[in-house]
Amino acid sequence: MEHSSRSVQLESGRRPERSKPPWLKIRLPSRPQYFEVAEKLREQRLHTICQSARCPNVGECWSERTATFLILGDVCTRTCAFCAVSKGAPAALDPGEPGRVAETAAAFGLSHVVLTSVTRDDLPDGGAAAFARTVEAVKSGNPGARVEVLIPDFQGREEALDKVLAARPDVVNHNLEVPERLYPQIGRPSAHYRRSLGVLSLTKTKGAVTKSGLMLGLGENEAEILQALSDLRSAACDLLTLGQYLQPRRDLQPVRRYYTPQEFAQWRRTALGHGFRAVEAGPLVRSSYHARRMAEGLTGNLQA
């Protein structure tokens, strides 16, 4: 398998934000729908990963009245070296949050609702019960809507995963993030790579449609990407997103390489050749980017 060598290479020490290629230029939001979404989220006291993780697609998605809800607060108990979400001691859970998420999803007219969370290692179940309550609330308040969850690893606890699955989400996403060698670089123990694969594999054995994502540009090589794709397919992962890592803050990991749109197109073809049922790949692709389109593109009725 040959991949283009046209990627923009960065020397260590160069500031990546000064070297962004033209295909990463983002237009500032201007459509009124964007500001309507922002106001509704403020009114409902809800968080989104769009804001907390500084997603480059927030203008596009909010202008289309879509957002990825961030539940369990906006403070994470882990200190991953690639993520802009705040770290520290989280607040207590908000019992009214599931209802407000459901109400807001209905107000936006969403047919595909994506829920994610900070990691809450301080909670006995990692927040799994709150995930389940939110899925149930959204399905109850939005008949016919699909619900996709992007879950943490729950420290590999099967009983926590079972709580989420009992609410019958339509798609269960858990990101592998990077190839195994790079886990220490992003602030995670190497063993968490296999743990994440285990979460995906276990989820699949329980009958769910599974999804995962990889960031490119943190120093991986072609063989490592191919191995990660193979590992995900060995876990029977159905759906995949591939996107460019962008340094969200100066104190986080720098970009080592920018991939061209053509390279992402080639990696999409490669991933489809590995057997994924649907793949989104591109410089600005993120976990929930075009999530509805990916789900609608599956054959059948989203059953594994």
73-91 confidence digits (pLDDT tens): 889 999 888 787 788 999 9
Q: For position 38, what pLDDT does the model report?
A: 73
Is the domain of 138 the same as that of 187?
no
> Per-residue pLDDT tens for 247-279?
888 888 999 999 999 999 999 999 999 999 999
The domain containing residue 223 runs over which residues?
Answer: 174-304
Residue 36 located in a structural domain: yes
Residue 56: inside a domain: yes
Residues 39 and 165 in one domain: yes
Asked if 245 and 84 touch (Cβ cutoff 8 Å), the reply is no
pLDDT at residue 202, as a whole number: 98
Give residue-wise pLDDT tens across range 76-130: 999 888 787 788 999 999 999 999 999 999 988 888 899 999 999 999 999 999 9
Q: Is the pLDDT higher at 31 or at 151?
A: 151
How many structural domains are present in the chain? 2
Beta strand 47-48 pairing with 68-71: antiparallel
The type of residue at 213 is G
Q: What is the pLDDT of residue 301?
A: 46
Provide, rounded to the nearest whole percent, the portion of the chain with pLDDT above 90: 62
- Read off the pLDDT of residues 180-189 as tens digits, 9 standing for 90 and up: 999 999 999 9
- What is the model's pLDDT at position 31? 67
Query: Which of 169, 193, 222 finishes a domain?
Result: 169
Please indicate, yes or no, whether residues 252 and 183 belong to a single structural domain of this protein: yes
Q: Give per-residue pLDDT as tens, 161-177.
A: 999 999 999 999 999 99
Segment 128-137, tens digit of pLDDT: 999 999 999 9
Domain assignment of residue 37, yes or no: yes
Domain match, 54 and 160 both: yes
The region, left, alpha or beta by phi > 0 then psi within -120 to 50, assigned to residue 29 is: beta
Structure confidence at residue 292 (pLDDT): 83
Domain end among 169, 186, 210: 169
Together in a domain, 247 and 184: yes
Query: Does a structural domain hold residue 115?
Result: yes
Task: Please check whether residues 161 and 180 belong to one and the same domain.
Answer: no
What pLDDT is stored for residue 54 in this prediction?
A: 62
Q: What is the CATH number of the domain that holds 208?
A: 3.30.750
Same domain, 77 and 179: no
Of residues 291, 304, 247, the one with CA closest to residue 110: 291
Co-location of 35 and 148 in the same domain: yes
Give the highest mean pLDDT range of 36-50, 52-66, 235-249: 235-249
Q: What is the pLDDT of residue 47?
A: 83
Quote the pLDDT of residue 162: 98
Model confidence at 291, pLDDT cuts 50, 70, 90, reads confident
pLDDT of 206 reads 97
User: How do residues 192-249 score in pLDDT, each as one tens digit?
Assistant: 999 999 999 999 999 999 999 999 999 999 999 999 999 999 999 999 999 999 988 8
| pLDDT number for residue 16 | 44
| Tokens standing for residue 86 | 């705040």
> Could you tell me if 164 and 30 lie in one domain?
yes
DSSP symbols for the chain: -------EE--TTS-GGGS--GGG--PPP-SHHHHHHHHHHHHHT-EEHHHHTT-TTHHHHHHTT--EEEES-SEESS--TT--SEES-PPPP-TTHHHHHHHHHHHHT-SEEEEEE---TTSTTTTHHHHHHHHHHHHHHSTT-EEEEE---GGG-HHHHHHHHHT--SEEE---BS-GGGTGGGT--THHHHHHHHHHHHHHHTT--EEEEEEE-SS--HHHHHHHHHHHHHTT--EEEEEE----STTSPPP-EEPPHHHHHHHHHHHHHHT-SEEEEETT--TTTTHHHHHHTSSTTS--
Q: Are 177 and 186 in contact (CB under 8 A)?
A: yes
Q: Are residues 95 and 152 in the same domain?
A: yes
- Among residues 108, 140, 169, which one ends one of the domains? 169
CA distance 42 to 63: 16
- Residue 42 sits in the same domain as residue 150: yes
Q: Say yes or no: 201 and 234 in one domain.
A: yes
26 band by pLDDT with thresholds 50, 70 and 90 = confident
